[in-house]
Chain A
């Protein structure tokens, strides 16, 4: 089984969360927004505040899966000269100071242009633990998966409300570390409420895999996290953090704001009501 073949910081973290009966918090930030130095500070502050996994976004010129908040972050990061190589550099700097699991969250083309084998080697050497490609499904990912596996990196794929039962199994089979469940049809961005059909969707996905399940898209508030506590293994928060960074006047202010947001979300995650109400898989 490919899922258990890799023992990464990601799988160890999800095991620990499961044993503690605690909902994990996955924190997304766009690398290089507003600078790579700021990203280092923000990520370290996020990890210290309780983020269980960091998703580090590699900025791309044409982020079709992202809403306005992350689009603007990508534009700021690219305007600051951020490249994939630079992002790997900041991973290395973070890894020297923290053991927090890091997932690179990228569109496919920047990795493809670096060369998939070269990218996977460099990402592993820098200290990344897994990779998620927004516009890549298992059908097109043969070479990519081989390159990641050869370097001990988890390949995280996404499933969506539109994913058929037949595909759920296949996508989960291609994934390791965890499976990313998109909560609703649409693009990234904070929403007021979680979709009402989310529990049914989660049940459908649970039937297809024993992988840890992280839910993302639209999650921004402690109440969302509280609801997810009994449902899934982790909540992904992205645009809500990026919006804090956008508002902040300096790298330190951004780091503080992100840490405060994470602390409040993590507080909701570890409260009794959010404790997992069923046996861990």
Chain B
């Protein structure tokens, strides 16, 4: 019960079953191959892993606690709920795990500058933080709509010495920030490292991001075994691109009795453009089909003629039209289940956790809690749930103050 699962995917072509791959302009093929080789070497290098672990422990604040949420459990009257407290990490979210890992990789590759995209600003802040710590230059692309709703994070990035470039094209959110970051990378490919923040994009990014986030699930698995002497019945995490959720799920994939639930943004309606639910099709959300966006083959919200659709979510971090390819594979295999929570449900859930546990979660993480609130009454009291609180809600005060 304590052994780690055997790593099998992605395959040599970067595929998780049918999903994933590498769909990029030719200019990026060589740098992706270089990244793949550098990462493979770093993985096997004890000194790299040692430096990573030291930074995770002393700089980021790992391990994070697995907290029994006694009042929330009692309030919902269902299963016994544990919270994985990624919100306690330096910079306030799980994003720092990946930024440290890739920042070290960038340094190892001799790159002096990192480029990042950000939605809610958490990945941008984490990357700006790591760049400062490691002495790297940092440029962050952010949609101008997101800059408006996450002003505090924009200021934080600048304070950390990063250059923040607003992206005014398309939907002016995460998707467009990624486009612009890719354009920067393709232009400055020899000097710069693209530090992608979610389990998305061309191979090897989905694998690299997952590997740097899987510490969440590895810790949680050991912690629940110590606390309860058994594995949980259910894992719940929100899914934008899918990095915190794959980070929690990965260590449990081989534990077939552990159910995994990813929660997407149900937004404010079920028609295309009103939500960001790519896999929750059984709940009637329109517009997701397999397709290619930003380097990977996965479920994508799109029009019938293959144009990428607009999305909506109260949470900038979930407001993205595609889902990481490993999630597409987990869904197709029936190994994980995906549902969606609406803007309103997420805001209500944030308020519930604040009142019941004294924790104000990020609006992203609040989606996961919202779905758990819906399901808890139908579950048994002796069941165990781990809910990933992927980030804290400090950045969302302006939005919350408008709703609550």
A108 to B296, CA, bound (A): 11
Contact B21 A78 (CB under 8 A): no
List, in ascending order, chain A residues with CB within 8 A of B28's CB: 162
B residues 105-162 with Cβ under 8 Å of A? none
Of the candidate stretches A90-98, A109-117, A227-235, the one touching chain B is A109-117
Of the candidate stretches A8-16, A46-54, A129-137, A239-247, the one touching chain B is A129-137
Chain B 169-192 interface mask (CB, 8 Å, partner A; 1/0): 110000110010011001111100
Query: How close is A158's CB to chain B, nearest CB, in angstroms?
Result: 4
Contact A162 B302 (CB under 8 A): no
Sorting the interface of chain A by its residue count into under 10, 10 to 19, 20 to 34 or 35 or more gives 35 or more
**CB-based nearest A residue for B169:** A71
Contact A64 B25 (CB under 8 A): yes
Select one of B22, B292, B307 contacting A61, CB under 8 A: B307
Query: How close is B167's CB to chain A, nearest CB, in angstroms?
Result: 11
A186 to B25, CA, bound (A): 10
Q: How many residues of B contact A (CB 8 A)?
A: 37
Q: Does B228 contact A (CB under 8 A)?
A: no
* A84-B306, A113-B302, A186-B186 known; A171 vs B23 contact (CB < 8 Å): no
List, in ascending order, chain A residues with CB within 8 A of B289's CB: 113
Chain A 109-149 interface mask (CB, 8 Å, partner B; 1/0): 11111100000000000000000001111011000000000
A100 to B288, CA, bound (A): 38
Chain B 280-301 interface mask (CB, 8 Å, partner A; 1/0): 0000000001011111000010
Select one of A62, A63, A160 contacting B175, CB under 8 A: A62
Query: How close is A156's CB to chain B, nearest CB, in angstroms?
Result: 12
Contact B179 A64 (CB under 8 A): yes
* A135-B24, A135-B25, A137-B22 known; A61 vs B30 contact (CB < 8 Å): no
Contact B305 A163 (CB under 8 A): no
A/B pair count, beta carbons within 8 Å: 108
A70 to B198, CA, bound (A): 28
Chain B 90-104 interface mask (CB, 8 Å, partner A; 1/0): 000000000000000
Q: Does A210 contact B (CB under 8 A)?
A: no
* A64-B183, A113-B305 known; A157 vs B292 contact (CB < 8 Å): no
* A61-B170, A135-B25 known; A113 vs B187 contact (CB < 8 Å): no
Contact A163 B291 (CB under 8 A): no
Most A CB within 10 A of own CB, among B176, B187, B294, B300: B187
List, in ascending order, chain B residues with CB within 8 A of A173's CB: none
Q: Does A271 contact B (CB under 8 A)?
A: no
Contact B182 A64 (CB under 8 A): yes
Q: Does A185 contact B (CB under 8 A)?
A: yes
B residues 329-347 with Cβ under 8 Å of A? none
Contact A185 B190 (CB under 8 A): yes
* A62-B170, A62-B293 known; A112 vs B306 contact (CB < 8 Å): yes
Q: Does B356 contact A (CB under 8 A)?
A: no
Chain A 148-185 interface mask (CB, 8 Å, partner B; 1/0): 00000000011111111001000100000000001001
A108 to B187, CA, bound (A): 21
List, in ascending order, chain B residues with CB within 8 A of A83's CB: 305
Query: How close is A228's CB to chain B, nearest CB, in angstroms?
Result: 20
List, in ascending order, chain B residues with CB within 8 A of A67's CB: 183
A255 to B294, CA, bound (A): 33
Select one of B182, B188, B190, B292 contacting A108, CB under 8 A: B292
Query: How close is A67's CB to chain B, nearest CB, in angstroms?
Result: 8
**CB-based nearest A residue for B290:** A112
* A61-B308, A71-B169, A187-B183 known; A109 vs B292 contact (CB < 8 Å): yes
Q: Does A60 contact B (CB under 8 A)?
A: yes
A114 to B289, CA, bound (A): 12
B residues 17-73 with Cβ under 8 Å of A? 21-31
A75 to B308, CA, bound (A): 12
B residues 254-293 with Cβ under 8 Å of A? 289, 291-293
Q: Does A193 contact B (CB under 8 A)?
A: no
List, in ascending order, chain B residues with CB within 8 A of A161's CB: 27
Chain A 52-81 interface mask (CB, 8 Å, partner B; 1/0): 000000001111110100010001001000
List, in ascending order, chain B residues with CB within 8 A of A65's CB: 25, 183, 186
Query: How close is B286's CB to chain A, nearest CB, in angstroms?
Result: 15
Contact A162 B29 (CB under 8 A): yes
A65 to B190, CA, bound (A): 17
A108 to B23, CA, bound (A): 8
Contact A110 B189 (CB under 8 A): no
A62 to B25, CA, bound (A): 13
* A135-B23, A135-B24, A139-B13 known; A164 vs B302 contact (CB < 8 Å): no
Contact B31 A162 (CB under 8 A): yes
* A108-B23, A162-B30 known; A186 vs B306 contact (CB < 8 Å): no
Query: How close is B27's CB to chain A, nearest CB, in angstroms?
Result: 4
Contact A159 B186 (CB under 8 A): no
Top 7 A-B pairs, shortest CB-CB distance: A113-B306, A110-B306, A162-B30, A160-B27, A186-B187, A83-B305, A61-B307
Instruction: Kindly list 16 other residue pairs between chains A and B, CB separation below 8 angstroms, not including A62-B179, A137-B22.
Output: A61-B307, A62-B308, A64-B186, A65-B186, A84-B306, A109-B291, A109-B300, A111-B306, A113-B289, A114-B305, A135-B25, A139-B22, A140-B22, A163-B29, A182-B26, A186-B186
Can you list 6 pairs linking A and B with CB atoms under 8 Å apart? A61-B308, A71-B169, A134-B25, A137-B26, A163-B30, A171-B26
Q: Which residues of A contact B (CB under 8 A)?
A: 60-65, 67, 71, 75, 78, 83-85, 108-114, 134-137, 139-140, 157-164, 167, 171, 182, 185-187
